[in-house]
Every structure is written in C-alpha cells, then in structure tokens.
Chain A
Amino acid sequence: MTHANLPQQPTFAEIAPRLETPAMKARVADLIRRYPSPQAALLQVLWLAQHELQWLPQAAIEWSAHQCKTSPVHAYGVATFYTMYQKAPVGKFLLQICQNVTCHALGSENLIAHAEKTLGIPADGAHVSADGLFTLLRVECLGACGNGPVMQVNDDFATDVVDGVVTMPKSISLTTERFDKIVAWCRANKEKGLVRDPLGGTLAGDLGHPGAEGASAQKQNSDYAPPPPALAVKAIAGTGVALTWKAAPEITELRIEHSSTESGPWAPLATCSPKDKEFAHATGIAGDCYRIVAVSGARVAKPSQIAKAGV
C-alpha cells in the first residue's frame, strides 16, 4: 500500500462501537492467555478486527496493537506484511482466483479474464463492483491444486454450488459456467453474505499458557515420564558372570537384580553408579538371569530386559 492510494480512514470513535464490545473483549482475553507474550496474539486480534469491520482501517490496527500491548508501528508493519489483511475496503464477496502454476497451466488466465468481464472490475483487489458486492483478486497458490483452477470466496473454497451451498466437491474445478453460478449465488444471498468465524470458533476446556494473564495452566512437572531403562543388557558366563549394559541419560543409580529363573523371584545383587558399564558376579553360573532397574531421583524405570547368562 502506498500513500497515493490510502483509502479514506474512519476515526477511532467511528469504529469503536464495533470493537469495544464485551464479546470482543472476552475473545481478545481468551487469545492473550494462550501465549507467553500478549504480542503473539496480534495476528489473531487483527483477524477479529477485520471480521468486524470487513477491512482494517489504521485505527483498527492501532486498536489491535493496544490490545496486544505492542506498538502501533509494529502492528502496522505486521498488518501490511500479510496479504490477507485488507488495508482498503473490499466488496461483500472477495473472489480470489488462483494464478499459480497448476491453476495457470489448467487455464486460470481465461477464468480471470472472464471474471473481469463479467463483473466489470480488474482483478487487482483494489476495486469494488458498482453494487458493492464484489472484489476480484488474483492470488498465489491456495493449496487446493487437485481441484485446479480454484477460487476462494471470502474464506470458502468455491468451485461449484451444490444444493444451494458454495462448495468445492472432490475433483470439481472452476469453469466459466461454475463461476457464473457462484456469482449468481452471491447475488441471491447478498443479505446473508458468506461469513464464518475468523478463528474457526473458540475452544472449551483449555488452560492457557502457564504464566499468561488469565491462564490457569501450571508449569510442566519435569519428571512426569519414567526414566529410561538400561539398554542392551548382556550376561556372559565364564569364571562367574560378566554383565554389560548401555546406560541411558538422566540415571542416578542402577540396581542389579538376580534370579535363577527368568520368572523370578528377583533378589537385589548390587547397586552401580550411572558411569559404570559392567559388573562381575563372581558366583554366577551359566543360566542365571539378571535385570537392571534404573533409578533417577525418586523415579524408577521399568526393569530392563532380562539377560540370561550364556557361555
């Protein structure tokens, strides 16, 4: 956006009744509690503001910055960086036709030409049709190439109208006939519009980010998981039994247990430090069974695999 085409800007007093509502306040608070810093909610708050006003006047960008405790210039930079924030008023139906490689190869240029002719406006996103209903915009890949060429009307993928609903059925691409059908649907539904919640609804049951304003979440308990068991335990019988293993990180102590059968009962044999990698059982014989229980502070790992002493 350049200064030459800055649209007429409403004052904050003019837009405040739409933004300063209890519902909006609750919504913003719910967003801010999700992140460790309020600034992170900025993109989401801008979405809410744009949804209320159908575009983002400068006063709304400043209001969003204030909500997220960041500077207006930062919010202005963000709002102008992302292409989906409308910095000038658009029609009630924003028709976005993809011009990227798949859609281009499959004929999106013809569609754009057809759309421009039908609606009498260029596909530059800066013009609103005389009836105030349509803005036409060329966009880059919309992420639905399997249906190419494709179009979005506001936030809905639209390649056809089925049972009175604008939709994108599997493998149905946009054609000039279907484009006309969608435009006719928009005209017939101009009162209702095609509007969805800009953040896909709210959540229920979430706790927020630990430490964020209004959040009830607690920090992660650092020892929720058991410590890792000793790995690759081997017992070789010779003179006595030589036990070797691979110790995992986090371990503070290794308890070696012994049994004459694989099914137990297990008797404690020795305690090793995590630095040890082997243990010699002087009285062990071939056929004896061993297992290692790793301990990390108060947490006890499940016993290692059983190693049967072989020759």
Chain B
Amino acid sequence: MADTSPKVCTVNFGKGAQDISVYKSLGGYSNVGKRLFDLSQFELIDLVTRSGLRGRGGAGFPTGMKWSFVPRGGKPVYLVVNADEGEPGTFKDHFLMLEDPHRLIEGMLICGWALGVRTAYIYVRGEFLSAVESLNKAISQAYAAGLLGANIGGSGYSLDIYVHRGAGAYICGEETALINSLEGCKGQPRLKPPFPAVSGAWSSPTCVNNVETIMALPWILENGPEAYAAIGVGRSNGTKVFSVSGDVKRPGVYECALGLPIMEMLESEQFCQGVIGDLKGVIPGGSSTPVLTTAEASDAKLDYESLAAKGTMLGSGAIIAFNSSRNVVTMLQSLTRFYAHESCGQCTPCREGTGFANRVMKTVVAGKGRDTDLQLLLDLCEGFTPTTICPLAAADAGPIESFTKKFRADFEAAIARNPERAEERLHPNFRPGAFW
C-alpha cells in the first residue's frame, strides 16, 4: 500500500523554492498576515498542542507543551533552531535547509509570534556551509520583502534571525550544549533543571526546536491542527522526514506518515526500492538507537510508541540498513570510536568510559579480544549510563548493548581468533562497576 500522506516539510523539494518568489508562488508566506497576526499567543500555542506535533530532533517531546513552559513578560525570549545535525545516519535537516530555507523562516515567524521572540538564531553545524549560505540568502530576501525586521507587516511584531555556524562538535546537538556554544563557550551540556525554556541562552527563556519541527508549522497553520493530527497513528501524529542510508537501492530523504512499516520504507518503489543483499539489521533512528535484527524489523513500524515497544527509538529518523556482507564488529567499533571522540570531557564516567569501551572494541577488532570482553562492555555501559549530565554516554550504550546481544555470534567469532582469549583482561576488583 502506497503512502499517500501529504508532504509537510518536503513538498517544495526540487522546485527551486530557495528563491522567495518561487516559494511565494507555491503558497509560502501566505499566512504571515492576517491569519497569523489575528491569533493570540495563547491560541497559537493551543493550536500547536492540538496538532500533536512532537519534537523531531530525537526525544519526541510535545512541541506545544514545550512552548507553554516559556514564561512571558519578563526577560527576552530566544528561539534557537537546532540544525546541528550530527547523529550518524541523519542528513534530513541538511537537505531541508538546502531545498526549502524559506519554510524554516516562515516556521520561525510562527514560533516567534507564539513566544514573543525578538531575536532568533539558527545553529548550523560547521560542516554545512552550503546550508548556511542558502539560509543567509533566504533571510536577506525575507528582510527585503518586509517579512523580517521591525514591525513585520504593520503588526507591531519584530523579529531578527541570525545563522550561527558551529565548528564541529557532535555534543552541540544537545540543547544545553548548543546554548553554551551559542554563547561562545565550549559546547558542554548544562545540568537540568533549570530547563532552557525557563533559563537558557544568556539566562533567558529559550526555546530550542529542531529544523524539521519548525518546518512543520506553516503546514499546520495553513491546514489546521486537526488535519495534522489526523495523519499518523496513535500518539505519533503527523509526518516524519527519514534519512535512509546503507545497503538500499535508493538511499535518501523521504517523508511519510508516522506508523509506516519499516520494511515498506526500505522496499517500496516510492521510497528506497529495495535492500541490496540479505538484510542483516536495521538501525532505526540514528546511531544511538538500539539496532533491530531482520526478524524484529520485519514487523516494526516507524512511530514513537511501536519502536519503543521493540526496545529501541525513533530518534532522529535515521534509518541505516546493512546486509550480511557487512562486519558488525567493526561497525560497532566505528560507533564506539565516535562516542569516545565526541565525549565533551565534562563528566568522568563518560570521558573515561566511552574511551575504555572503544579500547576494548579495538582489541576485539584486532583479534585480541577476550572471552570476558562482552561482559566487560556491558559492565561499562551500566557504569556510565546513569551517571552523566547528558545522554551521550547512554547513546553509546544503546548500540553496544544491542549489537553485542543481537549479533553475539559475530562477536564471539571475532574473539575466537585470539588463542589467549581465556585470560581475563582485568582483575575482577578493577572491573568497572566494582566501586558502585
């Protein structure tokens, strides 16, 4: 069955909507006028709440609820769009910003109106210079058209939008680290609470939303929250943009209604047109989400609740499919290396633990693994997961626990190459976890 849901974020792909005149001719900015300016802030937040829109960056927190936490009437409120797309496997925001930058600006106007934002920032990861260029061009066009700046359309509302280029740190995708980076500091996460909605950038209320979340707003305002809530399944309302990569015939960025079976995404003509080779596993939501085996993937659906029921997460919607010719042991090591590299160094359990896990994995890959290594990895995960400020360490544990459990035979075969594998790597007293 083909997915016939409307395209909320990707409708203008390939139509040249980077130019404001084309974007307007496709219906863009038509609601930035009476339709928006007649709405009270309260009604607009209520409208987004009723649409059931949830944060598309990974956590899936209800957007309307997040906005309702922002206090008004005191300090200035900031909107920061999180375009620090660094989760391995994810590349949707990159193409969303390249193809349709004006939709992001229109979404920011809507969010800005709802929260009383005067200055908004788009935090774009350093590698996406072309997206920064595309956004700057679009923002300049919007200023020229009177859609940004002071007293927009005579409404009395003013908004300025700036692009802030990051400089290569995965952790800056975490909202409090992103705020630190915006303030010109090292991107190290802050303790929560206080949450950014109450005290974020420059100790002011700050709303941090993903690019895709903001880009869904123009459609919701145009078509009404009920129309958006009617798409999807259960509490997973609306559409989601998926980035599909790996062993599929046509990898790319696809938008569909939440609740689509994962195999349909991989095999239908509309989307990826089939898997290359025999599917061995699927990472459903970016590298931090636990992997699914072929059997688990066969009946998995792409929505928040059904993936949670399978012990994994929808995350950022980055589907990585791999076939039986791929070496899952080196794949896991590429992930442990990534987390060890990207740990910001603030919390000791993460800084030391992710590096330790990576060193263990390196020896396994090099054929020097021990029989006790798989248990050692699990002990490490248990030690660093609940003891850190941000979820980076937990994100390392997701793939470690799931890969070693679900593809155990591959790991045991890799360890079996070591003739001295029976020797313990560590004395039991020095094992991680022995102290707590």
Flag whether A70 is at the interface (Cβ < 8 A).
yes
Q: Which residues of B contact A202 (CB under 8 A)?
A: 136
Contact B186 A102 (CB under 8 A): no
Q: Which residues of A contact B157 (CB under 8 A)?
A: 220-221, 224-225
Q: Compute how far the CA of A44 lies from the CA of B127 in the bound complex, rounded to whole angstroms.
A: 14
Contact A224 B156 (CB under 8 A): yes
Q: Compute how far the CA of A204 lies from the CA of B335 in the bound complex, rounded to whole angstroms.
A: 42
Q: Which residues of A contact B169 (CB under 8 A)?
A: 81-83
Contact B132 A199 (CB under 8 A): yes
Would you give the 0/1 interface string for A4-29, flagging 1 where the beta carbon is closer than 8 Å to chain B?
Answer: 00000000000000000000000000
Contact A225 B150 (CB under 8 A): no
Q: Which residues of A contact B185 (CB under 8 A)?
A: 39, 74, 78
Q: Compute how far the CA of A146 lies from the CA of B184 in the bound complex, rounded to whole angstroms.
A: 32
Contact A210 B184 (CB under 8 A): no
Q: Which residues of A contact B287 (CB under 8 A)?
A: 100-101, 141
Flag whether B181 is at the interface (Cβ < 8 A).
yes
Q: Which residues of B contact A228 (CB under 8 A)?
A: 40-43
Q: Compute how far the CA of A109 lies from the CA of B184 in the bound complex, rounded to whole angstroms.
A: 35
| Chain B at the A interface: SS class | mixed
Would you give the 0/1 interface string for A44-76, flagging 1 where the beta carbon is closer than 8 Å to chain B?
Answer: 101100000000000000000000101000100
Flag whether A156 is at the interface (Cβ < 8 A).
yes
Contact B118 A203 (CB under 8 A): no
Q: A81-B186, A227-B40, A249-B42 are in contact. Are A217 and B150 (CB under 8 A)?
A: yes
Q: Which of A74, A81, A219, A227 has the most CB of B within 10 A?
A: A81
Which B167-185 residues have C-beta < 8 A from chain A? 167-170, 181-185
Q: Compute how far the CA of A204 lies from the CA of B132 in the bound complex, rounded to whole angstroms.
A: 15
The residue that B140 contacts in the complex, of A74, A140, A204, A224, with Cβ under 8 A, is A204
The residue that A42 contacts in the complex, of B184, B202, B251, with Cβ under 8 A, is B184
Q: Which residues of A contact B136 (CB under 8 A)?
A: 199-203
Q: Separation in Å of the A106 CB from the closest CB of chain B?
A: 7
Q: Separation in Å of the B96 CB from the closest CB of chain A?
A: 12
The residue that B88 contacts in the complex, of A40, A43, A141, A206, with Cβ under 8 A, is A141
The residue that A39 contacts in the complex, of B76, B184, B326, with Cβ under 8 A, is B184
Contact A206 B40 (CB under 8 A): no
Would you give the 0/1 interface string for A181-224, flagging 1 where the beta carbon is closer than 8 Å to chain B?
Answer: 00000000000000011111111111111100000011111111
Would you give the 0/1 interface string for B308-352, flagging 1 where the beta carbon is closer than 8 Å to chain A?
Answer: 000000000010101000100011001101100110100000000
- B residues in contact (CB < 8 Å) with A: 37-43, 72-73, 76, 85-91, 94, 113, 116-119, 125-130, 132-137, 139-140, 143-144, 148-150, 155-158, 160-170, 181-187, 202, 243-247, 250-253, 283, 287, 318, 320, 322, 326, 330-331, 334-335, 337-338, 341-342, 344
Instruction: Please give me the 5 A-B residue pairs with the lowest Cβ-Cβ distance, nearest first.
Output: A205-B143, A200-B132, A82-B167, A84-B168, A145-B245
- A residues in contact (CB < 8 Å) with B: 34-37, 39-44, 46-47, 68, 70, 74, 77-78, 81-85, 99-102, 104-106, 109, 140-148, 152, 155-157, 170-171, 196-210, 217-229, 248-250, 301-302
